[in-house]
Amino acid sequence: MTLDEAKQHLIQAWGTLGSSWGVSRTMAQVHALLLVSPVAMTTEDIMEALQISRGNVNMNVRDLMDWGIVRKVLKPGERKEFFEAEKDVWKIGMQVAKERKKRELEPILRALEQVSTIEADITDPDVKQFAETVENLKKFASNTDKSLESIIKAEENWFWGSFFKLFR
């Protein structure tokens, strides 16, 4: 397997994984492409490598920047914008965890909070069972939330951050 074949392979696999993670195939592919590229790439480079349109590249690169895992790089003397991916896999994982927590866990916690304001006859067994299920979901979600929070915080902390680095 040559370098290019291997890259192609990985980009493909990453794209497939993306879809089962609620990320569009193309966005995942752009990410993989930048991840395995030794140098920052321009919009045109990406268009050519993945055979997709300019608008498509622009949208997906912007989304990846919103996720905090791709950066814009300006080269002195160059008019064009270059893009590069965060290469530290651990940082990518943290960043994704952080964003998903914000975008998914927090909304569901809010929704659970809202439905638990149900004001109904607590002696009704159905109401009681519903309240219990919601309570359990809330506990689970907030446990998950807190665990993620700790990991992220620890990572960002100067001491635990460098401590963790020893193991990766």
Partner DNA sequence: CTGAACTTTCAAAATTATCTGAAATTATTT
Partner DNA sequence: AAATAATTTCAGATAATTTTGAAAGTTCAG
Stretch that binds DNA, among 50-58, 95-103, 104-112, 127-135 (CB under 7 A): 50-58
Q: 113: which residues sit within 8 A by CB, 6+ positions away?
A: 138
Q: Give the separation between CA 25 and CA 60, rounded to whole angstroms.
A: 10
Question: Is residue 166 within 8 Å of 159, Cβ to Cβ?
Answer: no
Instruction: Pick one of a copy of itself, DNA, none as the site partner of residue 43 (Cβ within 5 to 8 A by kind).
Output: DNA
CB neighbour burial string for 11-45, b if at least 16 within 10 angstroms, e if fewer: beebbeebeeeebeebbbbbbbbbbbbeebbbbeb
Question: Cβ of residue 114: shortest distance to DNA, in angstroms?
Answer: 23
Write the DSSP symbol of residue 124. S
Instruction: Pick one of DNA, a copy of itself, none as the site partner of residue 157 (Cβ within 5 to 8 A by kind).
Output: none
Stretch that binds DNA, among 25-33, 120-128, 141-149, 151-159 (CB under 7 A): 25-33
Collapsed DSSP state (helix, strand, coil) of residue 163: helix
Mutual orientation of helices 25-36 and 54-66 as an angle, nearest 10°?
A: 80
Interface with a copy of itself by CB under 8 A: which residues?
Answer: 1-3, 5-7, 9-10, 13-14, 16-17, 19-22, 35-36, 38, 87-90, 93, 103-104, 107-108, 111-112, 114-115, 117-120, 124-127, 129-130, 133-134, 136-137, 139-140, 143-144, 168
Does 52 participate in binding DNA (rule CB under 7 A)? yes
Does 25 participate in binding DNA (rule CB under 7 A)? yes
Of 20 and 162, nearer to DNA (C-beta) is: 20
State the alpha helices, DSSP H only, in 20-157: 25-36, 43-50, 54-66, 89-100, 106-115, 125-156
Instruction: Pick one of DNA, a copy of itself, none as the site partner of residue 79 (Cβ within 5 to 8 A by kind).
Output: DNA
Give me the residues that bind DNA (CB under 7 A), please.
19, 24-27, 42-44, 51-56, 58-60, 62, 79-81
